Structure 1
């Protein structure tokens, strides 16, 4: 990016943040930091999607690879949740 592009970008709001942590997060650690998700969507593969609509957070928990954290304004969370593959199966997490 040029200096001019960087100056212009400073005036745009951040709409979402995607973060791929270097550390491996266990489901217990995620649960301790963020609490129980409102919904978990399972895929046929090794990924689970943990949905926290009130926090604007979707976590793709991948047992075979890197996890992915996606933050968005809670008011726009439905848009983010709608991007999850159609072959997922929703479940309610067990309460503590």
Structure 2
């Protein structure tokens, strides 16, 4: 719930996005697809921004956003594979943000995508990015979204975060500055920078343990 931080959110939106939002008698604006509105499902899944994690496919989200995103397979220096779709700047509800999703694929599917890859580009982290074939790209777009990464274009102050998302269950500080705020009940990890920048990483609450493990490994 937005609570007392509503005026702060609206001020940031006007400054950063040029939006005009009016409050009448203290009422909250009626808006969909807000980042703090996570619907928890009976099966341990969740729904955010209209995306049911583990069910909604990349193709369905692409049609809804009316954009054709970029897709690539990332392989870490340790050999961990991640099939990701980058949508770039999109508008969701009152907000504009960069959006990236991770697709749910089996180890066999990921290995096949890597074998068929038509291009390989090294990354500064030591990982490398692989371009998929046309056939594999079509197949990948039919896979469900497992994780969603949302980088808003507005500052997230402590008051805004605590008022909208509540108190995190855990905070993990990073050596280089910033911290992770963990909300396992929502399936959410928020990376907070030192100047108000934020990146929100959503997964199904039932899968939160795996995301937490990756976060703790990065912090170490």
Settle same-fold status: TM greater than 0.5. yes
- How has the CA–CA distance of structure 1 residues 65 and 24 changed in structure 2, closer, same or farther, with 3 Å as cutoff? closer
Cα distance, 1:28 vs. partner? 1.4
Query: What TM-score do the two structures reach when normalised by structure 1?
Result: 0.75
Indicate the residue corresponding to 2:174 in structure 1: 43
d(CA) in 2 for partners of 1:37, 1:61: 12
Indicate the residue corresponding to 1:60 in structure 2: 191
Indicate the residue corresponding to 2:10 in structure 1: none
Cα distance, 1:35 vs. partner? 0.5
Give 1:77's match in structure 2, choosing from 185, 194, 208.
208
d(CA) in 2 for partners of 1:26, 1:6: 40
d(CA) in 1 for partners of 2:197, 2:138: 30
| Bigger RCO (CA 8 Å, 6+ sep) | 1
- Equivalenced residue count is 85
Worse-superposed segment, 51-60 or 36-45: 36-45
Determine which structure has more spread, i.e. the larger CA radius of gyration. 2
Unaligned runs of 5+ in 1: 88-96
- Matched-pair contact (CA < 8 Å) for 1:46–1:64: no
Q: Which runs of 4+ in 1 moved over 6 A?
A: none
Cα shift readout 1:52-77 (whole Å, capped 9, x = no counterpart): 00100000011147311000000111
